[in-house]
């Protein structure tokens, strides 16, 4: 009820006023490269961004969902800090770093409408034009995010590790032990939206970027997977998926390649297969062989985004639908382990497990599965 009420509030407020309730003066025009007094770097203004004074500070003011890109900043490791000020309608405000020419980047953002909730602060990575937050629900954190006042944010990046500090926190608000992106260095950008109109909804001030050397291995390998995780797969695709409904039969003429899951068992199709069908749905295929010591049924822990069909030995066994808002209004559709179980009727010997995972690839596309220990079933390399 609390979540639903918040979305209702966001969806019905349509006040077209500036930050802190007054119109904001525009001192630079669209497309200009500008410097902000007291801030590092030069910034390229998109259509609905501008500069101006807010509360006596020189600021960037960002409109609906646009990126304000840095020019001349090449960030690898060090500290990024800034002050953010949101208004009563701001949904998100955040920073992207290590952004490359294709738009792949790491992203940290604040969700003021979820202040003090478990997901007030969020991390994900942009890959191939797709956000991936549904794949990484573990990277959320609680923080107090007051509106209409300045809030300090600091990111400390060291190789593959990220620490995020919000407000006056002495300890990290959120820690990402291993960044999940595809880039190791690149540009910066700021982003905000109110989801309603194109006016500026957040102000950014006091941007400071400090470069530093790496004390951790930038290419840190994932730790070993937890027991029971199925980590070695062959994948294929993408192929076009029906607009809705489950995949009913195995696609033909697939070309397979081997992949290794991430440390928590995640196989990210966003990472491996990209986004070839903007505006539509795609299916990625994954297969592995399970060798059973005896005939019997074993439980498979299944997590996926967004939709899945499970085939066992060529026959469809289960279909699930778990995208954004599919089960109830505001349902996150995140890839959560331990919430869904499929019983596999295995025969003695080798069994082919095949997954068809379909998604519009907007918020992350992938799966993770595991088997309990002591079942006498193991994956065959």
Superfamily (CATH) of domain 19-211: Exo-inulinase; domain 1 (2.60.120.560)
Q: What is the mean pLDDT of residues 190-218?
A: 86
pLDDT interval class at 218 (50, 70, 90)? very low
Q: Which two tokens stand for residue 11?
A: 């969806």
The string of pLDDT tens digits covering residues 160-169 is 999 999 999 9
Percent of the chain with pLDDT over 70: 87
pLDDT at 76: 97
pLDDT at 25: 34
Q: What is the mean pLDDT of residues 52-76?
A: 91
Residue 225 has pLDDT above 70, yes or no: no
Residue 132 has pLDDT above 90, yes or no: yes
The string of pLDDT tens digits covering residues 98-110 is 999 999 999 999 9
Residue 274 has pLDDT above 90, yes or no: no
Record the pTM. 0.86
The answer as to CATH 2.60.120 being correct for domain 232-380 is yes
Q: What is the mean pLDDT of residues 254-260?
A: 95
Specify the domain boundaries for CATH 2.60.120.560 within the chain: 19-211
Percent of the chain with pLDDT over 90: 65
């Amino acid at each position: 009820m609390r979540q639903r009420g918040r979305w209702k509030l966001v969806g019905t407020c349509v006040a077209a006023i500036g930050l802190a309730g007054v119109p904001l003066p525009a001192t630079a025009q669209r497309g200009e490269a500008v410097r902000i007094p007291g801030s590092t770097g030069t910034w390229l203004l998109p259509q609905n961004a501008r500069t101006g004074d807010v509360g006596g500070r020189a600021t960037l003011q960002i409109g609906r969902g646009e990126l304000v890109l840095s020019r001349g900043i090449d960030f690898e490791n060090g500290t990024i800090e800034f002050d953010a000020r949101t208004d009563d309608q701001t949904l998100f405000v955040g920073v992207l770093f290590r952004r490359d020419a294709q738009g792949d980047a790491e992203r940290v953002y604040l969700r003021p409408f979820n202040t003090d909730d478990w997901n007030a602060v969020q991390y994900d990575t942009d890959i191939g034009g797709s956000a991936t937050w549904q794949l990484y629900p573990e990277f959320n954190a609680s923080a107090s995010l007051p509106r209409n006042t300045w809030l300090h944010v600091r990111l400390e990046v060291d190789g593959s590790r990220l620490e995020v500090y919000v407000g006056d926190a002495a300890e990290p608000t959120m820690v990402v032990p291993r960044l999940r992106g595809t880039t190791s260095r690149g540009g910066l950008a700021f982003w905000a939206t109110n989801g309603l109109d194109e006016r500026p909804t957040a102000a950014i001030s006091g941007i400071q970027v400090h470069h530093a050397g790496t004390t951790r291995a930038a290419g840190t390998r994932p730790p070993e997977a937890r027991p029971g995780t199925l980590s070695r797969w062959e994948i294929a695709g993408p192929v076009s998926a029906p607009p809705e409904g489950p995949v009913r039969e195995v696609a033909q003429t697939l070309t397979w390649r081997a992949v290794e899951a991430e440390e928590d068992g995640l196989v990210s199709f966003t990472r491996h297969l990209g986004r070839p069908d903007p505006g539509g749905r795609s299916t990625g295929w994954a297969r592995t062989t399970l060798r059973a010591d005896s005939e019997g049924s074993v439980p498979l822990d299944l997590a996926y985004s967004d939709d899945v069909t499970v085939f066992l030995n060529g026959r469809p066994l289960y279909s699930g639908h778990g995208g954004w808002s599919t089960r109830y209004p505001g349902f996150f559709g995140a890839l959560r382990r331990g919430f869904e179980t499929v019983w596999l009727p295995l025969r003695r010997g080798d069994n082919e497990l095949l997954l068809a995972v379909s998604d519009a690839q907007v918020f992350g596309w992938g799966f993770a599965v595991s088997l309990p220990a002591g079942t006498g079933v193991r994956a065959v390399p």
